[in-house]
Structure 1
């Protein structure tokens, strides 16, 4: 998984040419960053008092538009099944959620023996999953058998892995669109796949 100091929930080019907008959650608050694609540097004129011009006004308006939509999505968000998954993991495998990044609410479940992650919980902008208008969604990334990934992606609430290897991980919504029975089965499979590999013995 890509190392994150912040939980990035939105990252898209602006309609204003040459700029991209990235929004992260830091200590529960949205923080925006506009980058000049050609220069590879942060564009800040839209955020500087007295630095207004026609171009920066357009940038400011679009940034506020995106932030407003993301905030509205947060307000509309429903309780997730994250707590149920945590309880299941503790009951079945004796593992508790860890929060590796101090400035993010991303959580992981880790096997006790191999120390490998078998579940990663993140906030993701609906647009990143092709769900326009859904705002910020809570999801879990689970390890899956590469041969079964195409089949899993046909099921409701399943998407190509966000910020993980798409060949062997799948992103699941925690909004109730995935039945708890399926979540439990796929969590157990993810845990199994994170186990120690058996050493191959040479035939005599």
Structure 2
């Protein structure tokens, strides 16, 4: 089992729940319960099983292995190599294929708790793996159409990242006791050659 963590600020990390951003730094925490090992190596492998990059752990003990990686520009799986105390080497390849993305949306100060009739300020950051200026069309909608049937739409121009804020109100007529995954961010990028926006990815929040 493994967990991916993204660097939020200088004070700590948070678990990654969406596709990682290309060329960003991530921490992988690999758990190794009931295994007595003396050496560990973490590799990123492509869909053909070829090694993209190998990493030595930052920290390891009998509970887990902490490794810092650089997200590649292609889909990858995580491979763990362990050498046991008796000299035997074992290998584990995770089944999940991780597909990096060129753009991400990160909500700050999660989770958001919203009462009926209350308005909250939703802060989020868009990040780009492209080192030049990008033109993004952002659509924010909710699964219950509480914002509006068309949601919120923005055209944004930025380099590397931009921080945004929107207000969200839960109407007094709202009946459900609790809901999850309410807000969906849809990103599209502008193509100069075709003069059109092309779909990139969805990120679910709340």
Q: How does the TM-score come out when normalised to structure 1?
A: 0.22
- Higher normalized strand content (fraction of residues): 2
- Higher normalized helix content (fraction of residues): 1
